[in-house]
Amino acid sequence: MLNIILFGKPGSGKGTQAEFIKEKYKLVHISTGEIFRKNIKNKTDLGKLAQKYMNNGDLVPDNVTIGMLKTEVDSNINSKGFLFDGFPRTVDQAISLDNYLQKKKLKIDLTIAIDVKDDILIERILNRGLTSGRKDDQDEIKIKNRFDEYNSKTSFLEEYYKNQNKFKIVDGFGKIDEITKRLYNEIEEFIK
């Protein structure tokens, strides 16, 4: 199995790049943001709960997100591997994921962060908001709040995975296919 985590602030292109990576390496793509959005669309209890957090650009509470993640992993346990996108976002989530995978005799192999400067990200997200319909993409205050959530909670994961010798960074500025190549290079370097 090959289990990868893709990190990046909102708008860094994680979702776009995840599509290429999952295709090439035949991984099951788990995007917690996408799962929440599907639940909101289908008006499930989980969706109703997540909606108020997401609309404000706040993180959904850990207990909810971790429970949902475990269900996703369980239902794809025989796959060739997982590509986690948007999870973990807190140290508690990372610890829960490690413990959970360990119970299944699995582990995270590699984590890659896509690095893009904030001013470029804000422009990209506001542009995406014009067509995505995402409330959290349309308001600069909510976007800034998502960055604050990243800086105050998610950024610690860099150290967490560096300590495990599993953290790589790629430059997320440039053409989509150039960035895809940078990501493939890191993965190939790992599996060679």
In whole angstroms, what separates CA 153 from the centre of its chain?
A: 13
**Which range, of 85-93, 122-130, 166-174, 178-186, touches ligand AMP by CB under 6 A?**
85-93
What are the residues whose beta carbons fall under 8 Å from the beta carbon of 135, sequence distance 6 or more?
54, 55, 142
Q: Quick one: CA dihedral 102, 154, 70, 186, positive or negative?
A: negative
Give yes or no for residue 60 binding ligand AMP (CB under 6 A).
Answer: yes
Query: How far, in whole angstroms, is CA 27 from its chain's centroid?
Result: 14
By CB under 6 A, tell whether 89 contacts ligand AMP. Answer: yes
Q: Which of 20, 25, 53, 100 binds ligand AMP (CB under 6 A)?
A: 53
Strands of the 82-85 sheet, one edge to the other: 28-31, 82-85, 4-7, 110-115, 167-171
Determine, following the binding rule CB under 6 A, whether residue 36 of this chain makes contact with ligand AMP.
Answer: yes
Candidate list 7, 87, 147, 150; residue touching ligand AMP; CB under 6 A = 87
Q: How many residues bind ligand AMP (CB under 6 A)?
A: 17
Residues engaged in binding ligand AMP (CB under 6 A): 10, 32-33, 36, 53-54, 57-60, 65, 86-87, 89, 93, 136, 146
